[in-house]
Structure 1
Amino acid sequence: MTQAHPHTFDHGAAPGRHEDHGTAGQGEILDLDAEVLAEHTVSLIGWLPLKSAPHRIVDLGCGTGAGTFALLDRFPEAHVTAVDASAGHLQRLREKACARGVEERVRTVLADLDGPALPDFGSPDLVWASASMHHMADPARVLRAVHDALAPGGLLALVELAGFPRFLPVSAPEDRPGLEERCHAVADRLHAEHLPHRGADWGPMLAAAGFTVEGERAVEVNIEGTRSEAVGRYALEGLRRIRGTVAGALPPEDIAALDRLLDTDGPYSILRRDDLVMRTERTAWAARRT
């Protein structure tokens, strides 16, 4: 997805459901998320209890296409309808599809999933909703609509992150240890009202929408920065965005330490650190329309 709120810093890194603000920066975060978590996404797709290879797939809250392209790679006969509220994200996805030579297998749909009705997707065999459902104002309504849209026996794969990934050790930075966690604590408080479903247990909501939950899988993610330089870039972009959210709520000493981390030309740049580890947790639910 999706994902994420395009105009605020969201700890889910998922695609937005509202107007198209801050698309370029959000798109960069989504692309980095896709790059760093590619192996985990492939693993989750492989875990799904599919009875046969799906031919019609909907990527709901597709963002810049992390799920879309992983699904196209896994199911070479499938076509994907990629749905998002951000025209900028969809344009980025179309450009990637052309570069990969799969544009004929991708259809993009611009839609606000909190609108009065979902677009007509036909009867998909699989709906993939990664880091997008917690953005919905009324996720129960969206889940019911997805249930009714699926072909009989079709599957919904719902994937959520526990929160925005952490990267720094608790002891960092040396002059303000615990800085990253304090930043996220402030952001969590500021966004709690707008994202009340983040971190929810989606099993009961899926059952209430008429699904049969056939599997739940929690995956802990720990990716060392030495494995991929994208980890450092992800940490940099994430902290840049969070700074704008928390600047007025942290003491000046914390903001100064944060600025030193964000100064890519300075000696304390986060890109110069060799102790970064991307830490987060993803939980997936596989729910069938019976």
Structure 2
Amino acid sequence: MFKSANVLSLTCSAVLLVMTITACTMKKEEEPKPEPEPKPTEYLLQTISEKDLYVDSFVYKNDLITERWLLLPDGFKRTYKYTYDSNGKVIAGETSDTQGDFHNMDSIVWNGAKATQYTRSWFPVRNAWVATDTTVYTVDAMGKMTKFAYADTVLFLGVERVYKYTEFTYNNNNNVTQSHYRRYSSTDPVSNSFQTMEYGSYDNPLALYLSKNPLLAERVANLYGNYILSYHNVTKLTWDDEVYMTAATTPAQGTNNIGILSRNRGGYINDYKYSYIIKP
């Protein structure tokens, strides 16, 4: 009798143990999985505008800038279009305006880290395309432009081509130095100038896309300054040991992106307003 009771007790204990393990297993399986951390919001720069002077717009496709529109208040519009290969490298560009008197075609040939741009311009008076320029770009491993040079030696409209090039160095994805070299003719000495830049902590999302297209990067930098190639907001630019410009930045609402960049050059203020869309 005692033995039977002992067996019954052991059986009950085993059943309880199995039930407990099963319950714990079910409870563990029923616990909700933690929600994945939300992906940080990414932004695309849509426009840069300066008061009522112009609006500079960018069009994106497949993570690349395929078009740029420069609009002036009088209705003038200059359009830039770009074509890329399957690896995302720019291979062609086209520039035109609403007046129909400016039309350039660019072809780009890549050789490792160098891209050579061949430009043809349309001359309505001649009713012909004329080769007008050759530009060589050098990029780093991330695609950032480290040098561009105009190296044509042909005569253009009877004037010898100016030879000039610019070199860039980067720190923390910011363009911190620029060295400019220029020679007006083959007999003139080379003139040099040197710039250094300092930066803040606000983001410039446009820089990532400029690093994918040196042709676009050079043209945008030519309008705003080479600091626009940088991932952050410029705060100071020194040119040949003299302070050339300081800049204050107001962030875009709800973001860490540049909202308004106010440049101060000797008391002359330029306010550049940036607008964004959320990346799809």
User: Given the two structures, how large is their TM-score scaled by the length of structure 2?
Assistant: 0.27
Going by fraction, where is strand more abundant, 1 or 2?
2
Over alpha carbons, which structure has the higher Rg? 2
Higher RCO by CA contacts (8 Å cutoff, separation 6 or greater): 1
Would you tell me which structure has more helix in proportion to its own residues? 1
